[in-house]
Chains A and B, each alone.
Chain A
Amino acid sequence: GQNIDQPTEMTATEGAIVQINCTYQTSGFNGLFWYQQHAGEAPTFLSYNVLDGLEEKGRFSSFLSRSKGYSYLLLKELQMKDSASYLCAGMDSNYQLIWGAGTKLIIKP
């Protein structure tokens, strides 16, 4: 079957760094997406990885290891506005997104 696993909730301090992990099992693989979703709002695209390695975009970076079925999202210099849910989604061989349940990130001052 297809499955995406990520922690339900994480807490971090403003200004710190946090890493949100995601493991995936999909039928075929066409990339791994990370989205940010604030409560009551739509998901916003953050990153896409299809090759192994680290992709950096400002304060956010995303890493992929295809052999391990593993990805992480790294958030640096955390700000209060980063409090949100972070959704990991794998794209399968039919180009459909298989979604994780999301990780709720709580930032404390």
Chain B
Amino acid sequence: DTEVTQTPKHLVMGMTNKKSLKCEQHMGHRAMYWYKQKAKKPPELMFVYSYEKLSINESVPSRFSPECPNSSLLNLHLHALQPEDSALYLCASSQVMRQGAYGSTDTQYFGPGTRLTVL
């Protein structure tokens, strides 16, 4: 089972709203990721959690706030977003973030994404 779930599928919000995106996996993966993807572009890494600790923040504006309540859940809290933040937000997970030996344990499995529109 390589399933990562995300809710909601679609979200429309105003610039003054506060909303949250949720991601869940039950594969025992210890690394979880948030990506942002604009149309016809590759995914852009936003945040990485490794063993429930934030290990990478790719200079993301503070209006995006990640949270990892436990090893299965990852949230992205949104506040005061701009229209240019409209995109597909993807969650991914992998067994571990760093692996010393050859293997595919760093393969990232993606959730279906949340299509966010900021008005």
Distance A33 CA – B99 CA, assembled complex (angstroms): 15
B102 touches A51 (CB 8 A): yes
Chain A contacts with B in 73-109, Cβ cutoff 8 A: 87, 89, 91, 95-97, 99-102
Instruction: Check A96–B104 contact: CB distance below 8 A.
Output: no
- CB contacts (< 8 Å) of B102 on chain A: these are 50-51
Give chain B residues whose Cβ lies under 8 Å from the Cβ of A95.
97-99, 106
* Complex CA–CA separation, A65 to B107 (angstroms): 20
B12-20, B40-48, B65-73, B75-83 - the one binding chain A: B40-48
Q: Is A69 an interface residue, CB under 8 A from the partner?
A: no
Q: Which residues of B contact A33 (CB under 8 A)?
A: 107-108
Q: Does chain B have a CB within 8 A of A44?
A: yes
Closest to B4 in A: A42
Task: Give the residues from 12 to 63 in chain A that come closer than 8 angstroms, CB to CB, to chain B.
Answer: 30-31, 33, 35, 40-45, 48, 50-51
Is the Cβ of A48 less than 8 Å from the Cβ of B98? Answer: no
B30 at the interface (CB under 8 A from A): no
Knowing A87-B42, A95-B98, A99-B42, say if A42 contacts B56 (CB, 8 Å).
no
Question: Are A101 and B41 CB-contacts (below 8 A) given A30-B106, A91-B106?
Answer: yes
> Is there contact, CB below 8 Å, between A96 and B56?
yes
Collect the chain A residues with CB atoms within 8 Å of residue B109's CB. 45
Q: Which residues of B sit under 8 angstroms from A45, Cβ to Cβ?
A: 2, 107-110
CB-based contact A97/B45 at 8 Å: yes
Which residues of chain B are near A102, meaning CB under 8 Å? 40, 42
A42/B108 contact (C-beta < 8 A), A95-B99, A96-B45 known: no
What is the CB-to-nearest-CB distance from B29 to chain A, in angstroms, rounded to a whole number? 13
Which residue in chain A gives the minimum CB-CB distance to B33? A97
Chain B nearest CB: distance from A10 CB in Å? 15
CB-defined contacts of A97 to chain B, threshold 8 Å: 45, 108
Q: A43–B88 Cα gap in the complex (Å)?
A: 11
From A31, A44, A48, A51, B110 is in contact (CB under 8 Å) with A44
Q: Which residues of A contact B (CB under 8 A)?
A: 30-31, 33, 35, 40-45, 48, 50-51, 87, 89, 91, 95-97, 99-102
